[in-house]
Amino acid sequence: MSFPRCALLWARLPAGRRVGHRAAACSALRARVEPLPGALGRVSAVASAAASSSSASGGSKAPNTSLFVPLTVKPQGPSADGDVGAELTRPLDKNEVKKILDKFYKRKEIQKLGADYGLDARLFHQAFISFRNYIMQSHSLDVDIHIILNDICFSAAHVDDLFPFFLRHAKQIFPVLECKDDLRKISDLRIPPNWYPEARAIQRKIIFHSGPTNSGKTYHAIQKYLSAKSGVYCGPLKLLAHEIFEKSNAAGVPCDLVTGEERVTVGPDGKQAAHVACTVEMCSVTTPYEVAVIDEIQMIKDPARGWAWTRALLGLCAEEVHLCGESAAIDLVTELMYTTGEEVEVRNYKRLTPISVLDHALESLDNLRPGDCIVCFNKNDIYSVSRQIEIRGLESAVIYGSLPPGTKLAQAKKFNDPDDPCKILVATDAIGMGLNLSIRRIIFYSLIKPTINEKGEKEIEPITTSQALQIAGRAGRFSSKYKEGEVTTMNREDLSLLKEILKRPVNPIKAAGLHPTAEQIEMFAYHLPDTTLSNLIDIFVDFSQVDGQYFVCNMDDFKFSAELIQHIPLSLRVRYVFCTAPINKKQPFVCSSLLQFARQYSRNEPLTFSWLRRYIKWPLLPPKNIKDLMDLEAVHDVLDLYLWLSYRFIDMFPDANFIRDLQKELDGIIQEGVHNITKLIKISETHKLLNLESLSPENQSRLSGALKSQARRMRSTKTLGSKATEPPTSNAEEKSLASRLVQQGLLTADMLKQLEKEWLTQQTEHGKEKTEPGTHSKGTRRKKKEPPSD
């Protein structure tokens, strides 16, 4: 090699390497981390320094390293300048290098040092595999690491001298290691009152209106709202925001409406009114008001939406903030307001009309009376009960959560109308908020409500005291024609459990929800640019630090959307907005629509009215069965999604007004379907599109409403630790049950014959198993002396 070439290569080395010969350069490198056998004391010093630095910066829990997804570091290909390290020393023997790397990996001192730098056993292993692949597969290595490996091969350096290079590589594939301190600062969610300087700049008066359902607490708060010069109402539902919007304007107080999917300005020329009714997520924390009303403040504990109530409580700039809700939230609100230096005035209210739990259950739908509301906790029960009511020649209204707001209001109006023949309501717990209903008696069809746990598994548990009180309180409302409310159950066995649930005290709320902002996620992404949004959220939640009165809300829905559109090229801010769009992830068509909308956006192709009509295959026909009805509900949700996005991306979703008219037309089609729901159920049963009579071993209770209730009672008693009552087995009682099911229209004669045939076949096979040759052991003969177990 020529002298000029050698000089050029030498000049490219770090300054420390130009002093002395190769061994001196290695010693200079070794000085950074020297875990030689004779100098292991200095390893602990380096480790303790790293640990003290970490504790000083965060001092919090160790991160969940299973969330760290390794990035790919590609091996180096041939360099245009050639292999400089090989020219300065010699080419490396890959077999020798592999032995060195294996020895490095097995050293306990190295593993301990890696742990002190944040590399637990899992990360250490992943980083080493990547490091080894990089070394072994690269055509040429950086000069410094080439020289170190060469020196180790000739015993001029120690294997531990590889650690700085290993650590550098580990930080490349796990960038979180490089910026842990910064990430902890960004995700520090302590002292949230300081996030709202405008609210902290004024001394607010906090008034808590506490009381049960139908106690007038919200009425008194709204009266203050209407009499104020300016005000904001924050409600949990679009229906409630609409109600206050209409009441306010009817009272001569101009009021705007703001929800996620709708903006209505009543003033001329689009000028904003001094009053606004909005959903709680949409309230402004920078606009000054005289009075603010936050309804259902106990929802501050909601695992998914609680952050919106926390934001409103801490951030609204209002001289008076009126909170309406359960007494269970008083202590928490008082503690939170103590941190802002604001006192809470509590006003207690009692129920305006009496309500009583009856001493007898309904037991049969033959005992229904006008003004009854049967509360179910799943759609199949809704369909089954509606069908049984129709068989008895009665008409019922139906309300459940996935119905459009307009359809819910239409069904409520139908039920409340004294001139309408519909006197029975069948509903889910969706009636707990947002609807004014003239109910005399609440009948719990079941006390068991299916829920989804953290692992995504379905669980069946009794309803909580808070849920029971909220639903039961809808009976005998002050504004209805029934001045006394009654509550009971469908099944006699459930009545004692209902009384027990209602007598339990409501547990005080312990913590308020928080949620990362788009700005915080952007700062996270700045440090971790190659990390997916879903993984960013996981790391943020893991790194976050909260005070004892707060928790980080569940972000599973956000992550679901993030993973759904991950492959679509979008900016981080746009991706974040798409992921916050409220969708029902149980509806495949809604999920695929979010994906399609994001794809159109990424292509810069506006989603026009004509495009959306083609996409949803408009015009749509009235539903012919229950499946058609559910499909129409999904299309309504897609139009909601369009409207929600139209207020965030006006240019790309330009036809919001046309879509709203289309949605009203669709609402009418759905109303027609719900009005004829019993016909749809009948057709669905005929074509086996609705399985209400499944006889699978796993779910025999779906045979009928009666059997279903019996199964629920058994599950409920298991949950409460009590013994389940065995079903009667006498032939007379079996015939009685079969007769009742036939009379109720739940079984036909043909179905009954088929059931008898299947039962006889099973009994015959069971008998054959008992009498098969070779099975008569001594134990079997002894059993003959005992009474038959059957």
- Given 674, 690, 706, the domain boundary residue is 690
Task: Identify the CA nearest to 289 among candidates 252, 255, 333, 320.
Answer: 320
Residue 491 inside a domain? The answer is yes
pTM above 0.85, yes or no: no
For 506, other C-beta atoms within 10 Å of its C-beta total 16
Using CB atoms within 10 Å of the CB of residue 326, give its burial: 0 to 12 exposed, 13 to 18 middle, 19+ buried: buried
Residue 492 inside a domain? The answer is yes
Q: How many domains does the chain have?
A: 4
Torsion sign across C-alpha atoms 609, 610, 612, 618: positive
Q: Are residues 643 and 592 in the same domain?
A: yes
Q: What is the CATH classification number for the domain harbouring 576?
A: 1.20.58.1080
- Whether residue 713 contacts residue 447, with contact meaning beta carbons closer than 8 Å, is answered with no
Q: Give the pLDDT score at 685.
A: 77
Question: From CA 467, how far away is CA 492, in angstroms rounded?
Answer: 20
Residue 757 inside a domain? The answer is no
Q: Are residues 215 and 325 in the same domain?
A: yes
Q: What is the CATH classification number for the domain harbouring 300?
A: 3.40.50.300
- Given 503, 538, 571, the domain boundary residue is 503
Task: Identify the CA nearest to 748 among candidates 366, 391, 378.
Answer: 391
Q: Are residues 332 and 375 in the same domain?
A: no
- Grade residue 123 by pLDDT with cuts at 50, 70 and 90: very high
Q: What is the mean pLDDT of the chain?
A: 83
C-alpha 764, offset from chain centre? 50
Residue 428 inside a domain? The answer is yes
Provide the pairing of β-strand 231-235 with 255-258. Answer: unpaired
Question: From CA 5, how far away is CA 361, in angstroms rounded?
Answer: 98
Can you spell out the DSSP letters for 652-705? Answer: TS--HHHHHHHHHHHHHHHHHHHHTHHHHHHHHHHTTSS-SS---GGGGGGG-H
Q: Give the pLDDT score at 764.
A: 63
pLDDT digits (tens, 9 = 90+) for 229-284: 999 999 999 999 999 999 999 999 999 999 999 999 998 888 999 999 999 999 99
- Grade residue 54 by pLDDT with cuts at 50, 70 and 90: very low
Q: Give the pLDDT score at 687.
A: 72
Q: Give the pLDDT score at 56.
A: 39
pLDDT (mean) for 525-540: 94
Question: From CA 529, how far away is CA 536, in angstroms rounded?
Answer: 10
Q: Are residues 122 and 256 in the same domain?
A: no
Question: From CA 269, how far away is CA 258, in angstroms rounded?
Answer: 17
Amino acid type, 31: A
- Between 606 and 699, the more confident residue is 606
Q: Are residues 359 and 344 in the same domain?
A: no
Q: Give the pLDDT score at 691.
A: 56
- Between 702 and 175, the more confident residue is 175
- Alpha-carbon Rg for the chain, nearest whole angstrom, is 34
Q: Is the pLDDT of residue 132 over 50?
A: yes
Torsion sign across C-alpha atoms 765, 767, 768, 772: positive
Most confident of the following: 593-607, 699-713, 719-733: 593-607
Q: Is the pLDDT of residue 112 over 80?
A: yes
pLDDT (mean) for 513-530: 93
Question: From CA 8, how far away is CA 87, in angstroms rounded?
Answer: 12
- Between 729 and 313, the more confident residue is 313
C-alpha 238, offset from chain centre? 19
pLDDT (mean) for 122-148: 93
Q: Is the pLDDT of residue 591 over 70?
A: yes
Q: Are residues 272 and 370 in the same domain?
A: no
Q: Are residues 361 and 311 in the same domain?
A: no
Q: What phi and psi, each to the nearest 5 degrees, are found at residue 466?
A: -60, -45
Most confident of the following: 82-96, 430-444, 636-650, 751-765: 636-650
Q: Is the pLDDT of residue 777 over 70?
A: no
- Grade residue 785 by pLDDT with cuts at 50, 70 and 90: very low
Paired residues of 459 in beta bridges: 451
Q: Both tokens of residue 641?
A: 């999604």
**3-class SS of residue 720:** coil
pLDDT (mean) for 400-425: 93
Residue 702 inside a domain? The answer is no
Q: For residue 490, what are the domain limits? A: 355-503
Paired residues of 344 in beta bridges: 206
Residue 532 inside a domain? The answer is no
Paired residues of 277 in beta bridges: 233, 257
Q: What is residue 548's DSSP assignment? A: T
Our CA angle for 370, 376, 377, nearest 5°, is 160
Q: Are residues 682 and 578 in the same domain?
A: yes
Question: From CA 425, how far away is CA 395, in angstroms rounded?
Answer: 9
Q: Are residues 338 and 364 in the same domain?
A: no
- Given 690, 711, 745, the domain boundary residue is 690
pLDDT (mean) for 116-131: 94
- Between 651 and 25, the more confident residue is 651
- Whether residue 389 contacts residue 697, with contact meaning beta carbons closer than 8 Å, is answered with no
- Grade residue 744 by pLDDT with cuts at 50, 70 and 90: low
Residue 746 inside a domain? The answer is no
Name, in order, each residue with C-beta under 8 angstroms of 306's C-beta and a sequence gap of 6 or more.
299, 300, 512, 513, 551, 553
- Determine what percent of the chain is predicted with pLDDT higher than 90: 68
pLDDT digits (tens, 9 = 90+) for 610-646: 999 999 999 999 999 999 999 999 999 999 999 999 9
Residue 785 inside a domain? The answer is no
Q: Are residues 366 and 344 in the same domain?
A: no
Between helix 705-719 and helix 492-503 the angle, nearest 10°, is 40
Q: Are residues 575 and 639 in the same domain?
A: yes
- Whether residue 595 contacts residue 653, with contact meaning beta carbons closer than 8 Å, is answered with no
Tokens 């203050």 correspond to: 224
Q: Is the pLDDT of residue 710 over 70?
A: no
Q: Give the pLDDT score at 461.
A: 86
pLDDT (mean) for 432-456: 81
- Whether residue 242 contacts residue 405, with contact meaning beta carbons closer than 8 Å, is answered with yes
Q: Are residues 373 and 464 in the same domain?
A: yes
- Grade residue 762 by pLDDT with cuts at 50, 70 and 90: low
pLDDT digits (tens, 9 = 90+) for 146-182: 999 999 999 999 999 999 999 999 999 999 999 999 9
Our CA angle for 633, 305, 404, nearest 5°, is 20
Q: Both tokens of residue 430?
A: 């969706």
Q: Give the pLDDT score at 759.
A: 67
**3-class SS of residue 344:** strand
Q: Give the pLDDT score at 433.
A: 86
Q: What is the CATH classification number for the domain harbouring 89?
A: 1.10.1740.140
Question: From CA 121, how far away is CA 127, in angstroms rounded?
Answer: 10
- Grade residue 705 by pLDDT with cuts at 50, 70 and 90: very low
